[in-house]
Structure 1
Amino acid sequence: MITKKKVLNFINSKNYKPMIQKELYKSLGLKTKKEKKELRKILTELIKEEKIYKDGKGRYRPITKNHIVGTIEFTRNGTIAFVWTSSGEEIAVPVEKAGNAIHKDKVIVEIEGKWYDIPEGRVIKIIEHGLKKIVGTFQPVRKAAFLIPDDPKIQYDFYVPIEFFNNAKPGQKVVGKIIKYPTPTKNPVAKVVEVLGYADDPATDFPTVIVKHDINLSFPDDVMKEAANIPEKVLPKELKKRKDFRDELIVTIDGSDAKDFDDAVSVKKLKNGNYLLGVHIADVSHYVKEGSALDKEAFFRGTSIYLIDRVIPMLPFKLSHGICSLVQGEDRLVMSLIMEINKEGKVINYEVTPGIIRSKRRLVYDDVNDLFEGKKEAIEKIGDLKDTLLLMKELKNILRNARKKRGAILDIEGGEVKIILDEKGHAIDIIPRKRGETETIIEEFMIKANETIAEIFHKYNLPFVYRIHEKPEPDTIIQLKNYLSAIGIDFKVPQKITSRILQELLEKTSNHPLRDSIEKLLVRSMKRAVYSSTNIGHFGLASYAYTHFTSPIRRYPDLIVHRLIKKFLSKKDKLSKKQKKLLNDKLAKIAAYSSKRERVADEAEWDYVALKKIDYISNHIGETFDVVITSVTKFGLFVEIIEKNISGLIHISTLDDYYLYDEEKSILVGKRNGKIYKIGDKLKAKVVNANKTRMQIDFEISEA
């Protein structure tokens, strides 16, 4: 009898030479139709389990320790790609070793060496194509056309035969269904399935981003059916074994445009002078059960996506805006973390418990900030809560000072802007987004809650999902040093880089005209924070253990953390070594996939903002703005309209002389006039072009 184990052992044996199916029949002594059918089934299963693969000549080969299976993602500049495994491992693949793979393909990579500190490999097999559709610009050429992808990570233009035009016109944005994938000699082929319109029409911005990032807008029927069966009110039977906080003064504080509320807070001053901080988080895990259709869809999405004028939620509306949202005056199930905090900002006692709350007030950041500033209207509106809010502010200062003492990075504002859209979706204004005292209060309370939960799991060495942030690579810090040197700031790089040193740099440059650019480069010099089942701490926050616990409505890892809290902290479940390993392996995959989905959401949000910025500046072609040079290259000057956070290029060909690039000093020098352009120079520049397809804004220096 043929078995999966026997087949796998044979293919993995030392003397095995790659064989086609017929050769396997013979070598394994299979003669009957039934035996051959069973082998075909086993081979299919082994391929799905990623234990073997079928090469281009139909021969079956083992996936060895020298092989990695993952998803390939190309970089924007097109020189290298990275393959990410389900457990979060990263492999570099130079473009010349990527074969015919395109962005998002699932591939097998054979490891061939090292690329800096990570493995480097070659794509030996495309298992599955990740992209089914693309969005781009339709460009006819004689009796055919090409679809030029918007996404620079897609390295090919797609050939469109005349019968697949679908009435698309030159220069229009279209959605193409991929009919054929690239081969060594031929371009991929696409069929136009939807015409979005012209790029300058704001109505094309949203579908462009949705198709580009393969985002699902609607929920499957089985998910909606499950959601429909969830009650709209908290039922009496659900109150068992829950702590009742309904008589406590608990409030939510969010932005004026917030639609779902997954965190609420309460603060008291104790007789011993300590503070009792309550952070109450929506108990989404009560409604979204592990393995359910809701759970599978939430995992698939990974996170809610917040665009300027809309939200693509992780959970259906009935949960995200309904029973899981901590709305004012309604009973809601929560996971409550109650912390006693001393005057040094340390948690000296805590309780984690399932609870029930009834939020007393839905507060808005702007109103509370106005109250702190003594504005009459705010006092009339929420003055009855003044003492509690001032106590929150007092505790915030203690927590923030404690974080500053340990060296956390505090002062990054991020140069965020608010984009104002009209009813048609055109960007009519861009204004800086300022963070007030109240935003900082909620930030500090949530950080403390996330740290406390992570520290508990770290202390007891329990399987967990951490939010980790590695220290920066030395190369990126040298780039930061060179940039600072170019604008006249002396930054000595110590042997051991710490978050405290970067915080001191931010304080030192707080009034610098290029403050926003310094912040952006500092952020770029640091690694991305990601999810992991292994705790290495959080560099930016200077936390030895950190997690995401406070937003389970919109982040899947938070939902997992809630389940782990219930599993271990309430029941005190004990796992065998084998069970612990299995759970750790499962959490590692969840963490890696969640990090990947977070990147997709971030890129979608950035793309949408970029499109709206280009839309805004398109209405100001020919106008002159005050700009600052943020980067100097051999092909020109990158400049930024600081108050609008809009960047663009002054190409070297538009300058008034032949300019030479001095790479060491990062300057352009005029050959005849000796004029120097350097980082930090303030100029007046005229907008001459704004192109959504290329995602590029062009300026020219104006003497006006």
Structure 2
Amino acid sequence: MITKRKVLNFINSKNYKPMLQKELYKALGLKNKTEKKELRKILNDLLYEGKLFKDSKGRYKPISKNMVIGTIEFTRNGTMAFVWTESGEEIAIPAEKAGRAIHKDKVIVEIEGKWYDIPEGRVIKIIDHGLKKVVGTFQPIGRAAFLIPDDPKIQYDFYIPIEFFNNAKPGQKVVGKILKYPTPTKNPVAKIVEVLGYADDPATDFPTVIVKHDINISFPNEVMQEASKIPDKVFSRDIKNRKDFRNELVVTIDGPDAKDFDDAVSVKKLKNGNYLLGVHIADVSHYVKEDSFLDKEAFKRGTSIYLIDRVIPMLPFKLSHGICSLVQGEDRLVMSLTMEINKDGKVVDFEVTKGVIRSNRRLVYDDVNALFEGKEEAIKKIGDLRKELLLMKELKDILRKARKERGAILDIEGGEVKIILDEKGHAVDIIPRKRGEAEVIIEEFMIKANETIAEIFHHLDLPFVYRVHEQPDPDTIIQLKNYLAALGIEFKVPKKIQPKVLQTLLEKTEGHPLRGSIEKLLVRSMKRAIYSATNIGHFGLASYAYTHFTSPIRRYPDLIVHRLIKKFLTDNKKISKKQLKKLNEKLSKVAIHSSKRERIADEAEWDYIALKKIDYISNHIGEVFDVVVTSVTKFGMFVEIIDKNISGLIHVSTLDDYFLYDPEKSILIGQHTGKVYKIGDKLRAKVVNANKTRMQIDFEISEA
């Protein structure tokens, strides 16, 4: 009998020479049709699994030691691509070495050298095409047409034969199903399967983002059926063996638009002067059982996605807005962490337990902030909780001071804005989003809870999912130094970068007109925080162990952490060495997949915000704004309307002189006038164009 193992062992053997399919029939002694059919299936499976590959002549070859398999992702400018393996390894691929691979293809890469500090390779085989659909603009040319992708990472335009127009009109946003992928001489081919509408119609923004990032907005039937069987309330049988916090003053504090409440808090002052902080998190794992349909779908999604005016949840609303949401006045099952914290912000004692709470009040950030400011309306509304809220503020100050002293980065606001939409989805205003004391209270309490849980698992050396953040690369810090130098800000780069250095920099630039741009560059200079089964600490928070424990309704790693807490801390289940090894392997896969899904969610959110910003500025064409130069290039200047966080380009061709670019000083110099444009310059600029298809806003300098 022919088996997958037998075939793989044969192809990986020392004496094997690459063979065609018919040669393998003979070499393996296969004579009847059934055996040959089984071999074809095995070979196809092994090809898809990346255990072997076919060369250009159709011969089957083993994967050698200097080859890896992963998903290719191109950069926006198309000059580079990066392949990510299932184990999280990253390989750089210069565009000329990508072959005919397109964004999201599963490929085999041969390692050829180094690109900075990571391997560099060449694509030698496309195993599978990740993109099945593409969203873009329909552009007819004669009796044919092209679909111009919205995503600049897709380097090809798609040819649309006339029979596949599907009544699309010039300039409309469309969804194309890919029929043929690129060849050395031909563009890829697609057929229009959906017409979304015109780009300036806000109704096209949502489906554009959904198709571009291949996001599922509905749940499979089996998931919804499973969710329908979950009860709407907590029964007495659910409360057995749980600590009862229902007589404690427990509250939730969230934004006014929040629908799912997965964290609640309580604070007491103890007789010894210490604080007892309770962080109670929705016990989602009680309802979402391991390997259930709900669990598999939650893993697949990885995270909820928030798009200004809507949410694509990780779990059905029955759970996320219902039984798992810590709504006011209702009994809810929780995982509770109570921490005794001293006046130096250190946890001197803790307890992790399964619990039950009844939220006393659903508080809103704005109301709590108004109470702290002494506003009469807020005092009338929530004044009965003033004592408890002031105690929370007191503890927040202690925790924040302790984090600052150990060197954590505290002051990154991120230039966040709130986009106001009308009933049709048009952006009618953009206002800065500021954090008040209430937001910082919840942030500090959640950070302390996440650190405490991570430290427990780290000290016990148990399998776990950490939230890790590597130190920044020296090269990116040098770029930050050069940027600051162009602004006239001196920044000494020490041999070893500590987060405290960057925090000092943020304090130094407080009130600077380009503070938002400095923050953005600082964030870009640091690596992305990711999930990992191995603890390497969290640079930005200056934490030696950190995790995500506090949002299991909307993040899959948090749900996994809850299961691990039950397995090792509250239920004390015995686990063999073999099971431990298997669990570690599973957690590694969960961490890598969750990091990928988080990245997709972030990109979808950024794209949706960018579309709404362009929609907003489209209604202000011809208007003049105060802008600040955030970057200078040989082709012009990028400027930003600071209070709107809207960026665009002043192209060098629109300037009233011939300008040369000085790359060392990062300035543009007028050859006749001697006029110099540099980073940090404040200008008056007129909006002249806003294009959703190219995701670009153009300005011109105005004397008005």
Contact 2:399-2:444 within 8 A present in 1 as well: yes
CA distance in 2, matches of 1:398, 1:448: 12
Could you tell me which residue of structure 1 aligns to residue 496 of structure 2? 496
CA distance in 1, matches of 2:163, 2:45: 39
Contact 2:50-2:108 within 8 A present in 1 as well: no
Contact 1:303-1:554 within 8 A present in 2 as well: yes
Could you tell me which residue of structure 2 aligns to residue 214 of structure 1? 214
CA distance in 1, matches of 2:57, 2:305: 43
Alignment map for 1:281-430 (pairs within 5 Å):
281-430=281-430
CA distance in 2, matches of 1:632, 1:50: 44
CA distance in 1, matches of 2:246, 2:117: 53
1:15-49 residue CA offsets vs partner (Å, 9 max, x unmatched): 21111221112112222334334433433443344
Could you tell me which residue of structure 2 aligns to residue 242 of structure 1? 242
Could you tell me which residue of structure 2 aligns to residue 485 of structure 1? 485
Amino acid of the residue matched to residue 331 of structure 1? D
Contact 1:88-1:589 within 8 A present in 2 as well: no
Cα distance, 1:117 vs structure 2: 1.1
SS at 2:616 equivalent: helix
1:432-476 residue CA offsets vs partner (Å, 9 max, x unmatched): 101000000000000000000000111011111100001110111
Amino acid of the residue matched to residue 246 of structure 2? R
CA distance in 2, matches of 1:7, 1:698: 59
Q: Does 1:536 align with 2:531?
A: no
Cα distance, 1:574 vs structure 2: 4.6
Amino acid of the residue matched to residue 287 of structure 1? Y
1:595-649 residue CA offsets vs partner (Å, 9 max, x unmatched): 1111110011001110111111111111110001111110001100101101100
Cα distance, 1:581 vs structure 2: 2.5
Q: Which moved more, 1:266-275 or 1:99-108?
A: 99-108
Q: Does 1:610 align with 2:610?
A: yes
SS at 1:605 equivalent: helix
1:395-429 residue CA offsets vs partner (Å, 9 max, x unmatched): 00000000000000000011111011111111111
Tell me the TM-score normalized by structure 2: 0.99
Q: Which moved more, 1:137-146 or 1:81-90?
A: 81-90
Structure 1 stretches lacking a partner, 5+ long: none
Contact 2:48-2:127 within 8 A present in 1 as well: no
Contact 2:537-2:543 within 8 A present in 1 as well: yes
Q: Which moved more, 1:234-243 or 1:361-370?
A: 234-243
Q: Does 1:185 align with 2:185?
A: yes
Relative distance call for 1:488 and 1:468 in structure 2 (3 A) is same
Cα distance, 1:239 vs structure 2: 1.1
Amino acid of the residue matched to residue 697 of structure 2? I
Amino acid of the residue matched to residue 50 of structure 2? E
Could you tell me which residue of structure 1 aligns to residue 686 of structure 2? 686
CA distance in 2, matches of 1:192, 1:42: 35
Q: Does 1:35 align with 2:35?
A: yes
Amino acid of the residue matched to residue 89 of structure 2? E
Cα distance, 1:665 vs structure 2: 0.6
SS at 2:174 equivalent: strand
Could you tell me which residue of structure 2 aligns to residue 106 of structure 1? 106
Contact 2:47-2:53 within 8 A present in 1 as well: yes
CA distance in 1, matches of 2:699, 2:181: 38
SS at 1:177 equivalent: strand
Could you tell me which residue of structure 2 aligns to residue 599 of structure 1? 599
Structure 2 stretches lacking a partner, 5+ long: none
Q: Does 1:476 align with 2:476?
A: yes
Could you tell me which residue of structure 2 aligns to residue 78 of structure 1? 78
SS at 2:407 equivalent: coil
Could you tell me which residue of structure 1 aligns to residue 160 of structure 2? 160
Contact 1:87-1:592 within 8 A present in 2 as well: yes
Cα distance, 1:122 vs structure 2: 1.4
SS at 2:92 equivalent: strand
1:296-347 residue CA offsets vs partner (Å, 9 max, x unmatched): 1101111000011000100001000000000000011100001111111011
CA distance in 2, matches of 1:163, 1:47: 34
Contact 1:138-1:172 within 8 A present in 2 as well: yes
SS at 1:689 equivalent: strand
Amino acid of the residue matched to residue 423 of structure 1? E
Could you tell me which residue of structure 1 aligns to residue 586 of structure 2? 586
What is the root-mean-square deviation of aligned Cα atoms in Å?
1.1
Cα distance, 1:115 vs structure 2: 1.2
Contact 1:88-1:593 within 8 A present in 2 as well: no
SS at 2:192 equivalent: strand
Amino acid of the residue matched to residue 477 of structure 1? I
CA distance in 2, matches of 1:481, 1:574: 52
Could you tell me which residue of structure 2 aligns to residue 172 of structure 1? 172
Could you tell me which residue of structure 2 aligns to residue 52 of structure 1? 52
Contact 1:179-1:189 within 8 A present in 2 as well: yes
SS at 1:83 equivalent: strand
Cα distance, 1:87 vs structure 2: 1.9
1:111-166 residue CA offsets vs partner (Å, 9 max, x unmatched): 12111111111112211111111110111111100000000000000000011111
CA distance in 2, matches of 1:70, 1:148: 26
1:53-84 residue CA offsets vs partner (Å, 9 max, x unmatched): 33343322212332211111111010111111
Contact 1:243-1:355 within 8 A present in 2 as well: yes
Amino acid of the residue matched to residue 517 of structure 2? S
SS at 1:135 equivalent: strand
CA distance in 1, matches of 2:81, 2:574: 42
CA distance in 2, matches of 1:538, 1:627: 35
Could you tell me which residue of structure 2 aligns to residue 145 of structure 1? 145
CA distance in 2, matches of 1:116, 1:585: 29
Q: Which moved more, 1:78-87 or 1:432-441?
A: 78-87
Tell me the TM-score normalized by structure 1: 0.99
Alignment map for 1:625-636 (pairs within 5 Å):
625-636=625-636
Contact 2:253-2:365 within 8 A present in 1 as well: yes
Could you tell me which residue of structure 1 aligns to residue 505 of structure 2? 505
Cα distance, 1:576 vs structure 2: 4.0
SS at 2:86 equivalent: coil
Q: Which moved more, 1:400-409 or 1:46-55?
A: 46-55
Amino acid of the residue matched to residue 635 of structure 2? F
Cα distance, 1:582 vs structure 2: 2.1
SS at 1:190 equivalent: strand
Amino acid of the residue matched to residue 147 of structure 2? L
Q: Does 1:136 align with 2:144?
A: no
Contact 2:50-2:127 within 8 A present in 1 as well: no
CA distance in 2, matches of 1:534, 1:206: 37
Could you tell me which residue of structure 1 aligns to residue 641 of structure 2? 641
Alignment map for 1:14-33 (pairs within 5 Å):
14-33=14-33
SS at 2:507 equivalent: helix
Could you tell me which residue of structure 2 aligns to residue 67 of structure 1? 67
Contact 2:48-2:128 within 8 A present in 1 as well: no
